[in-house]
Structure 1
């Protein structure tokens, strides 16, 4: 590089340094961080987000409807009864006339399908917040190949912060030993950027939303 070119470059640098950099625009802290949800109805917004991240959503208006939806799911996946450890879920399935596996005998060998409840559903991200506080513990939402969730419309909140507040209000000074946000089926693309489902948890997640009066 000639001295003339070098001096021209240095002159432009010196000139640029003499002009102060513009300050960034001051953010409006009164405005919400996130854009509005896709729907004014949080349940609709959750269903859209949940399906967008790879979940399967089933609306159930009654216990017979739940029975039909779950039986159809099992038939399509060619699976037997789900493993269910929570007494409240067991009672609902009994009332719906559905079979389930209640004990842990042969759990590791037979854990193809597990069903749990949840703490909350997040409309923004389509996430399911589960915890170790229920009888399902830490294992039933993680170990089976396919994870079923039975929830109610009243459990849908808009944001993750609200879901964490639900847990805080429910358990107070004795929080669960584990809380987890499940967003779609377990997946990874760490190896050669090839998407693999079920790498760290269930390969499929399906949510059955049962109306409140059932």
Structure 2
């Protein structure tokens, strides 16, 4: 029997056996990742956040936050630049903690080295921070300064991005903010010659201070 006859015989046999069995239908509703333990969300977020280049500080008390932030500013803030904080709640916290800041927009474009904002949620899976301009910080304070600092609480940590979006929707209802930013690490790009550049489209450094809820 020629090779042609052998091939045709195999084809006839396959056709006689009917169509090949189809692969099992995937469960599209099943989660892609295993669920994260609720008790370890803050720890998982800290690990994810550091892995993508963020700088993380955990503070149990307001006094510890003041000491950590003052030391951090002494190292990072140039003498001729300013540390801007525009949200009244954050201003009250820092005033009580003894941390100096610039509360107005005076000389913002020329002196904005560091901006401190709150956030909507922290995503443990990816280490991302959800920021919205619905606060007094607006859009500029999280984007324009070279360094973006975020003050958050453990109760704001959620497992997945979907959980963060649901938290925002629950908070604002039908009046959602005009924009939401999912910030995952410092601003970076490798569009040109595949060379990684930090601070291309936003802050070059991203730092988060996690203050206990009861502090």
Distance, in Å, in 1 between the alignment partners of 2:180 and 2:27 is 32
Q: Are 1:63 and 2:62 counterparts?
A: yes
Say which SS state the counterpart of residue 94 (structure 1) adopts: helix
Q: Could you tell me whether the CA contact under 8 Å between 1:116 and 1:149 is conserved in 2?
A: yes
- Residue of structure 2 equivalent to 1:23: 22
Q: Deviations over 1:84-123 (max 9, x none)?
A: 1100000000000110011111111111100000001110
Aligned positions, number: 210
TM-score under structure 2 normalisation?
0.87
| Structure 1 gaps, min length 5 | none
- Moved >4 Å (runs of 4+): 17-22
How far did 1:81 drift?
4.8
Distance, in Å, in 1 between the alignment partners of 2:147 and 2:21 is 53
Q: CA RMSD in A?
A: 2.6
- Residue of structure 2 equivalent to 1:196: 197
The 3 A distance-change label for structure 1 pair 131 and 30 is closer
- Residue of structure 2 equivalent to 1:73: 72
- Residue of structure 2 equivalent to 1:184: 185
- Residue of structure 1 equivalent to 2:45: 46
How far did 1:38 drift?
8.0
How far did 1:77 drift?
1.9
Q: Could you tell me whether the CA contact under 8 Å between 1:39 and 1:45 is conserved in 2?
A: no
Q: Which stretch shows the higher mean deviation, 66-75 or 173-182?
A: 66-75
TM-score under structure 1 normalisation?
0.88
| Structure 2 gaps, min length 5 | none
The 3 A distance-change label for structure 1 pair 171 and 72 is same
Q: Could you tell me whether the CA contact under 8 Å between 1:47 and 1:57 is conserved in 2?
A: yes
Q: Could you tell me whether the CA contact under 8 Å between 1:186 and 1:200 is conserved in 2?
A: yes
Q: Are 1:149 and 2:181 counterparts?
A: no
Q: Could you tell me whether the CA contact under 8 Å between 1:131 and 1:178 is conserved in 2?
A: yes
Distance, in Å, in 2 between the alignment partners of 1:36 and 1:128 is 19
Q: Could you tell me whether the CA contact under 8 Å between 1:86 and 1:135 is conserved in 2?
A: yes
